[in-house]
Structure formats: C-alpha cells, structure tokens
Structure 1
Amino acid sequence: MLQEWAVPDAEKRRCLIESLSGPALDVICTLKLIDPGVSVKDCLEALHHTFGSVEDSKDSYCKSLNSQQQRGEKVSAYIQRLERLLQRAVMRRAVTAEQMDQTRLAQIVRGTQYQNLILLHLRLRERQEHPPSYSQLIKEVREE
C-alpha cells in the first residue's frame, strides 16, 4: 500500500515511523541513525527480515488442513479459527479464494468431533459439491 500511495517518500517514512512502537520502532531508528534518508522500501525490508513470518504457503495450508475442533470448543468457534487459518493460506497463495468454501467445508467435516450432531443436522457431508459461503455456514451453525 505504501508503494502505491502518491506522496513523497519522506511522508511515507514519517507515517510508517509514527505507526510503530517498541522493538519495531527501534529497528527503524537504528536504520535512520545509519542513513537519515533511508527509503520506505528499506524500512519495510528491515522489518520483514526482523519480524517477518518464516511460514510459507505450504505451512499455512497444512495448518488449516490439520486443524481440529478442540475438546469443549463450540463448532462456531472452530469455524472462526479455521477461517483465520484459511485466510492466511489464501494470502500466501496456497489456496485460491475460489477454493475457500470447498476447502473450509471439507476441513469442517474432517476436523469436527464425530459426536457433534450439527454435522448431521446441517448435512454438511452431502453439501460438498456446492458448499455454503463462510457467512452462510456460520449463520446456519449458530442457528442450529
């Protein structure tokens, strides 16, 4: 977003620095001490190298595929947790946005505890051809 913003680099850097605190601010302050005119791109690269995720697309996808409903966790809470994992997988291009509904439903069927009757009531196994969207699914689960 900073790259597409049509303002001078100095203004971008000022806004970036104002949004930081703690160790992230320390990293940028150190960069500014070395080079007072450090570019926004260099600042972002330093932050990424210092704090960036080492999780790649395969790791993100595997986390979503291996998620399970935890003992005592409501199905709706599990679906919300799974959604965050799937969104991360989409951001890392492990799953396309078009595949999300089908991937989500398949994982819910696999990851939900078997004694949970919601799967039976909502007939989720039979709906894998035409899976509901996240908002429709969470609505149905909460209503059930």
Structure 2
Amino acid sequence: MDAAAASKWCEEENVPLKTDLVVEIKGEAWTEEKLLPVLKTLYKDKKLWVIDMRIDNANPHTYALCEWRQELPDCFKSPSVKTLDSIELIMIHPTGEQDSPTSSSAPAPKGATEQKTKGSDTTPLKSISPELCAVLGEIVAQCKKDSPDYLMTGYRKLRTFSGRHPVPSSEDGFEEWMDHATQALEEWRVPEPHKKQRIMESLRGPALEAIRNLKLSKDDCTAQDYLDVLQNVFGRTENTSELHYQIEHCFQKKGEKLSEFVGRLDKILHQILLKKGIDPRAVDEARVQQVIRGAQPMDPIAFQLRTQQGS
C-alpha cells in the first residue's frame, strides 16, 4: 500500500490525514486486539484508536488504519519501527510527507542565495500598486458579504460514533449520540447537504458503512434518513407497541426518587419518539399521565398532580 492508497482509505473512513497513518505488518495476519497493545507499548502518552483493519491473505500482510487525537508521536513519523519482539511495523503516511523533502531541507537552486541578497530590499507585496491592493480588498469584502452565515460561523460538532462494541472510551454510546444528533439537526440552520456532511464527519467504521449502503440503495437521502437508518441498525429492537407497553407498566419503585422515575420514563418515551410512535406534542401529556398512574401514592408531587387532575 502506498501513500495515495492510504489517503483514499482515510477519506473512506472520514478521518483527518494529519493525525492518521497506516501500519503495515508483513508475514502474518494480526487482529486489533493483538496490535493495539503493541502500539501503546511504543508510545503511552498519547491516546490512539485502530479505526479499521485489512488483511491481504495473498502475501500475507496486515494493514491497520490508526488515528491519534492531536498529532502523530515522533516515533511513528519514521518509515518503520521495531517492536520489543523485533517485529517491523512499516509506517505508511497518507500525505506521503515522510518521503518528500521539506522546504527547509530541500536544496536551494543554484544562484538562489545571490538572488536573495541582491533583492533583499524588494518583496512581492511592494511590487503591487496601491490601486490593485484596493481592488483586491473590495473583492475579499464582497466574498465575505456574499457568504452565507453558516459558512462564516462555527457549529456544535457531534462526538464520534462507530457502532463498535464495546464502545470505545472516545465515543458516545448509540442512545447518547442519537440524542445529541437529533437536537443538533433541529439547531443547524443550514442546507440539507451541509447537515448530511456534519453527520457523516462524526461517523466511523460500521456506522459509516451503514450510511454508504443507504446512499447506494436510495437516491436523494436526507439527514433524517441518515438518522433513521442508524436507528434501525444500532437502536433498540423493540417496536412501538412493546415500548408503549413498557410505559404503561413503568411504576415508581419503593424508595426511588420521583426524578429517577421520571428519568426512566423519559428514556422509553425518547425511544418511542425516535421510532415515530408518538406525536412530539403529546410527549409531555404522556409523561404526566404515567406519573399520575405510576408514582407512589404518597409522593407529594404526584399527589398534587392527581388533585389537579381530579379538580
């Protein structure tokens, strides 16, 4: 695998090039469980994730797409690293930077030093007339004026979700991620393509593959379609009838605080809402009715609600 193939892999998994690389291991097929402790042994201070793995059984070779939170550790910037067991890990950088000279190390063209000395008092900006600078300024100002507000301001990004089990420490579980995504979708005042892009940039692994399959089977997908298919694949398996049954048979336990009881109700109601089994405007009423039915008889808040209901 070369740098171009590694870059394409990063694009497919929607991961940044600067904090990722592909680790190649020759001679045997490795699993994520075997590779991850080895990588952590080489550098313990920065957290990393194995995003995806591919096995070439013909050679055989193992390729692992790895991601670091902020930047690559120095020990992984070299072409290869040897483990304590003398196993060579070949580093394939998506950008190919390890193979190309930097601007500071590249040899200067012949005569460049002399030209710089002679022209040290002249810079490209000084050769631009004031009139041209004014025109360029007007163009930049117009571009900013014509740009939509959503391109000029930031937005609340979703946390990462891959659908892997057990849930990695850097990710949300599905219900937490879906709750945030549903709220964000209501907040984002942007065109549909931007909503889909923002959801896609938070997905990895099996979750990203589910969206790709949706796009192949359905034209003109919406951001809500993305959330619906993720709900079908990774959400709870109960249908709306079963969830309504759970609501009707959800009661406050002895010694349980009313807030904890309401929290359990809300989780079930949220699942019904995600499955479109209830009108959003009826959620509050359904919660109140079940609190009246299911709370302990002497709970003061529930008692007050029953009094108001009966009056």
Q: TM-score, normalised by structure 1?
A: 0.53
Counterpart-to-counterpart distance in 1, 2:294 and 2:310? 18
Q: Does 1:6 align with 2:191?
A: yes
The match for 2:221 among 24, 33, 41 is 41
Q: Secondary structure at the match of 1:128?
A: helix
Q: Is the 8 A contact 1:69 1:113 kept in 2?
A: yes
Shift of 1:79: 1.8
The match for 1:100 among 284, 288, 291 is 284
Give 1:77's aligned amino acid. E
Shift of 1:20: 0.7
The aligned residue for residue 72 of structure 1 is 255
Counterpart-to-counterpart distance in 2, 1:13 and 1:124? 43
Residues 54-85 of structure 1: CA distance to partner in whole angstroms, max 9, x if unpaired?
43332222221111113432112212322343
Q: Secondary structure at the match of 1:124?
A: helix
The aligned residue for residue 203 of structure 2 is 20
Q: Is the 8 A contact 1:105 1:128 kept in 2?
A: no
Counterpart-to-counterpart distance in 2, 1:17 and 1:49? 17
The aligned residue for residue 147 of structure 2 is none
Percent identity among equivalent residues?
Answer: 25
Q: Is the 8 A contact 2:269 2:283 kept in 1?
A: no
Residues 96-118 of structure 1: CA distance to partner in whole angstroms, max 9, x if unpaired?
624733x333322322234x442
The aligned residue for residue 304 of structure 2 is 123
Gapped runs of 5+ residues in structure 2? 1-184
The aligned residue for residue 33 of structure 2 is none
The aligned residue for residue 89 of structure 1 is 272
The structure with the largest strand share of the pair is 2
Counterpart-to-counterpart distance in 1, 2:259 and 2:283? 20
Superposed, which structure 2 residues align to 1:43-58 within 5 Å? Answer: 44=226, 47-58=230-241
Q: Does 1:63 align with 2:246?
A: yes
Higher relative CO (Cα under 8 Å, sequence separation at least 6) belongs to: 1
Give 2:305's aligned amino acid. L
Gapped runs of 5+ residues in structure 1? 131-144
Aligned structure 1 segments of 4 or more residues deviating by more than 4 angstroms: 11-14
Larger radius of gyration: 2
Counterpart-to-counterpart distance in 2, 1:118 and 1:23? 47
Counterpart-to-counterpart distance in 2, 1:26 and 1:98? 35
Counterpart-to-counterpart distance in 2, 1:88 and 1:125? 26
Q: Is the 8 A contact 1:12 1:40 kept in 2?
A: no
Residues 73, 21 of structure 1: alpha-carbon distance in 2 compared, 3 angstrom cutoff: farther
Q: Secondary structure at the match of 1:123?
A: helix
The structure with the largest helix share of the pair is 1
Residues 110-134 of structure 1: CA distance to partner in whole angstroms, max 9, x if unpaired?
22234x44257x433222257xxxx
